[in-house]
């Protein structure tokens, strides 16, 4: 099973097993990683599962869809590496993925 790491804003790392086929948002919730609200339950409609992908992973992760892009735009603290965790489906290629969590969800 791929291993992914979430790093909280305060530096606390959570390395967890990520089930293939689940979204990264669900993986965080399943493993009680704090800092993901997921108010809409994974519908790309609230932008409260905001994460920042580590630079060396950006190419593999790909770019957000138009719908995700619109939602990310609502957040004034958006960065170039920002994604919504609910829109990233875990596959085998994600083994070793590391993402940062923002200080606050918008």
Judged by beta carbon, residue 41 or residue 62, the one nearer other proteins is: 41
* 60 SS3 class: helix
Residue 106 touches other proteins, criterion: CB under 8 A = yes
- C-alpha distances in Å from residue 71, one per residue of 40, 44, 46: 12, 7, 7
Q: Residues 103, 11: contact at Cβ < 8 Å?
A: no
User: CB neighbours (10 Å) of residue 75?
Assistant: 17
Q: Total residues at the site for other proteins (CB under 8 A)?
A: 23
Residue 79 touches other proteins, criterion: CB under 8 A = no
Q: Which stretch binds other proteins (CB under 8 A): 13-21, 64-72, 82-90, 93-101?
A: 64-72
Q: In the complex, which residues of this chain contact other proteins (CB under 8 A)?
A: 37-41, 43-48, 67, 70-71, 73-77, 103-106
């Amino acid at each position: 099973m791929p291993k992914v790491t979430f790093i909280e804003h305060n530096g606390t790392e959570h390395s967890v097993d990520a089930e293939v086929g689940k979204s990264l948002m669900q993986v965080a919730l399943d493993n009680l990683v704090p800092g993901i609200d997921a108010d809409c339950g994974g519908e790309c409609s609230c932008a409260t599962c905001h994460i920042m992908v580590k630079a060396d992973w950006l190419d593999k992760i790909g770019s957000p869809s138009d719908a995700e892009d619109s939602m990310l735009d609502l957040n004034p603290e958006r960065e170039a590496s920002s994604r919504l965790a609910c829109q990233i489906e875990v596959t085998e290629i994600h083994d070793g993925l590391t993402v940062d969590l923002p200080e606050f969800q918008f």
